Amino acid sequence: MVKKVAKKTITETVNDDGSTKTTIKEHAPKEVVKKPKEKKMTAREREELLIENFVGLQHAMTNMSIKFGSLSDNISKLLQVFEESAKNFLQNGSEGKPGDQAMLKKINSLLDQNKTIAKGLVLMEENLRGRSGSHMPMPNRSEPMRPRPLPKL
Protein backbone atom coordinates (compact mmCIF):
# COMPACT_ATOMS: atom_id res chain seq x y z
CA MET A 1 0.00 0.00 0.00
CA VAL A 2 1.32 3.46 -0.90
CA LYS A 3 0.52 6.61 1.05
CA LYS A 4 0.87 10.09 -0.43
CA VAL A 5 1.84 12.90 1.88
CA ALA A 6 1.57 16.51 0.69
CA LYS A 7 3.60 19.10 2.54
CA LYS A 8 3.10 22.86 2.55
CA THR A 9 5.63 25.46 3.69
CA ILE A 10 4.37 28.91 4.58
CA THR A 11 6.95 31.71 4.79
CA GLU A 12 6.22 35.27 5.87
CA THR A 13 8.78 37.99 5.20
CA VAL A 14 8.67 41.63 6.33
CA ASN A 15 10.11 44.24 3.96
CA ASP A 16 11.87 47.44 5.05
CA ASP A 17 8.74 49.48 4.45
CA GLY A 18 6.73 47.31 6.85
CA SER A 19 4.75 45.32 4.29
CA THR A 20 4.54 41.55 4.74
CA LYS A 21 4.83 39.01 2.00
CA THR A 22 3.52 35.48 2.42
CA THR A 23 4.73 32.65 0.21
CA ILE A 24 3.30 29.17 0.20
CA LYS A 25 5.30 26.31 -1.27
CA GLU A 26 3.85 22.90 -1.85
CA HIS A 27 6.23 20.02 -1.94
CA ALA A 28 5.62 17.03 -4.13
CA PRO A 29 4.14 14.17 -2.23
CA LYS A 30 6.58 11.56 -1.10
CA GLU A 31 5.81 7.96 -1.61
CA VAL A 32 5.90 5.96 1.57
CA VAL A 33 6.18 2.27 1.01
CA LYS A 34 5.32 -0.02 3.87
CA LYS A 35 7.68 -2.91 4.20
CA PRO A 36 6.16 -6.30 4.60
CA LYS A 37 6.73 -7.75 8.04
CA GLU A 38 9.74 -9.98 8.18
CA LYS A 39 9.29 -13.50 9.37
CA LYS A 40 10.53 -14.22 12.83
CA MET A 41 13.16 -16.90 13.10
CA THR A 42 12.14 -20.15 14.55
CA ALA A 43 14.09 -21.59 17.44
CA ARG A 44 15.58 -24.23 15.16
CA GLU A 45 16.80 -21.62 12.62
CA ARG A 46 18.25 -19.54 15.42
CA GLU A 47 20.14 -22.54 16.80
CA GLU A 48 21.51 -23.43 13.35
CA LEU A 49 22.68 -19.84 12.82
CA LEU A 50 24.37 -19.77 16.24
CA ILE A 51 26.10 -23.09 15.57
CA GLU A 52 27.31 -21.87 12.16
CA ASN A 53 28.69 -18.66 13.71
CA PHE A 54 30.35 -20.60 16.51
CA VAL A 55 32.07 -22.96 14.04
CA GLY A 56 33.28 -19.95 12.02
CA LEU A 57 34.64 -18.34 15.18
CA GLN A 58 36.49 -21.54 16.13
CA HIS A 59 37.99 -21.68 12.62
CA ALA A 60 39.20 -18.08 12.89
CA MET A 61 40.69 -18.71 16.34
CA THR A 62 42.50 -21.81 15.07
CA ASN A 63 44.03 -19.86 12.19
CA MET A 64 45.06 -17.09 14.55
CA SER A 65 46.74 -19.51 16.98
CA ILE A 66 48.69 -21.07 14.08
CA LYS A 67 49.84 -17.61 12.95
CA PHE A 68 50.89 -16.71 16.51
CA GLY A 69 52.89 -19.94 16.71
CA SER A 70 54.77 -19.15 13.52
CA LEU A 71 55.32 -15.56 14.73
CA SER A 72 56.86 -16.75 17.99
CA ASP A 73 59.12 -19.15 16.02
CA ASN A 74 60.30 -16.29 13.80
CA ILE A 75 60.97 -14.08 16.82
CA SER A 76 63.02 -16.80 18.50
CA LYS A 77 65.07 -17.25 15.30
CA LEU A 78 65.68 -13.50 15.15
CA LEU A 79 66.76 -13.53 18.79
CA GLN A 80 69.24 -16.33 18.02
CA VAL A 81 70.72 -14.24 15.19
CA PHE A 82 71.19 -11.30 17.56
CA GLU A 83 72.78 -13.54 20.18
CA GLU A 84 75.22 -14.98 17.63
CA SER A 85 76.18 -11.53 16.39
CA ALA A 86 76.77 -10.38 19.98
CA LYS A 87 78.99 -13.43 20.63
CA ASN A 88 81.00 -12.77 17.47
CA PHE A 89 81.39 -9.14 18.41
CA LEU A 90 82.69 -10.05 21.86
CA GLN A 91 85.10 -12.64 20.43
CA ASN A 92 86.62 -10.11 18.02
CA GLY A 93 87.01 -7.60 20.82
CA SER A 94 87.78 -3.96 20.17
CA GLU A 95 90.27 -4.84 17.43
CA GLY A 96 87.59 -5.45 14.87
CA LYS A 97 88.23 -6.03 11.22
CA PRO A 98 90.54 -3.88 9.06
CA GLY A 99 87.46 -2.42 7.41
CA ASP A 100 86.23 -1.23 10.79
CA GLN A 101 89.44 0.72 11.36
CA ALA A 102 89.09 2.39 7.97
CA MET A 103 85.52 3.30 8.81
CA LEU A 104 86.59 4.83 12.13
CA LYS A 105 89.24 6.92 10.34
CA LYS A 106 86.61 8.21 7.91
CA ILE A 107 84.26 9.08 10.77
CA ASN A 108 87.06 10.97 12.55
CA SER A 109 87.81 12.85 9.35
CA LEU A 110 84.15 13.79 9.04
CA LEU A 111 84.15 15.01 12.65
CA ASP A 112 87.15 17.25 11.95
CA GLN A 113 85.44 18.65 8.85
CA ASN A 114 82.31 19.28 10.91
CA LYS A 115 84.35 21.24 13.46
CA THR A 116 85.85 23.40 10.73
CA ILE A 117 82.45 24.11 9.16
CA ALA A 118 80.94 24.94 12.57
CA LYS A 119 83.73 27.41 13.33
CA GLY A 120 83.25 29.07 9.95
CA LEU A 121 79.51 29.39 10.51
CA VAL A 122 80.05 30.94 13.95
CA LEU A 123 82.47 33.49 12.51
CA MET A 124 80.03 34.34 9.71
CA GLU A 125 77.21 34.78 12.22
CA GLU A 126 79.32 37.10 14.38
CA ASN A 127 80.29 39.09 11.31
CA LEU A 128 76.67 39.45 10.17
CA ARG A 129 75.49 40.48 13.63
CA GLY A 130 78.22 43.11 13.75
CA ARG A 131 77.04 44.60 10.41
CA SER A 132 73.35 44.64 11.30
CA GLY A 133 74.04 46.78 14.36
CA SER A 134 72.20 44.55 16.76
CA HIS A 135 74.17 43.96 19.88
CA MET A 136 72.82 40.65 21.05
CA PRO A 137 75.06 38.96 23.56
CA MET A 138 77.07 36.14 22.04
CA PRO A 139 77.96 33.02 23.96
CA ASN A 140 81.50 32.80 25.30
CA ARG A 141 83.67 31.42 22.48
CA SER A 142 87.02 31.76 24.23
CA GLU A 143 87.49 28.00 24.45
CA PRO A 144 87.27 25.91 21.27
CA MET A 145 84.21 23.80 20.62
CA ARG A 146 84.83 20.13 21.27
CA PRO A 147 82.48 17.42 20.07
CA ARG A 148 81.43 14.66 22.37
CA PRO A 149 83.63 11.58 22.04
CA LEU A 150 82.26 8.57 20.22
CA PRO A 151 81.35 5.60 22.40
CA LYS A 152 83.92 2.84 22.49
CA LEU A 153 82.87 -0.46 20.98
> Residue 93: is its pLDDT beyond 70?
no
- Assign 55 a pLDDT band (cuts: 50, 70, 90): very high
Residue 118 lies in a domain: yes
Lowest mean pLDDT among 9-23, 48-62, 136-150: 136-150
Helices (H), 93-139: 98-132
Rounded to whole angstroms, the Cα distance separating 83 from 40 reads 63
Residue 149 lies in a domain: no
Residue 23 lies in a domain: no
pLDDT at 138: 54
Assess whether 87 and 75 both reside in one domain.
Answer: yes
Residue 25 lies in a domain: no
What is the domain extent for residue 119? 96-130
Q: What is the DSSP letter of 48?
A: H
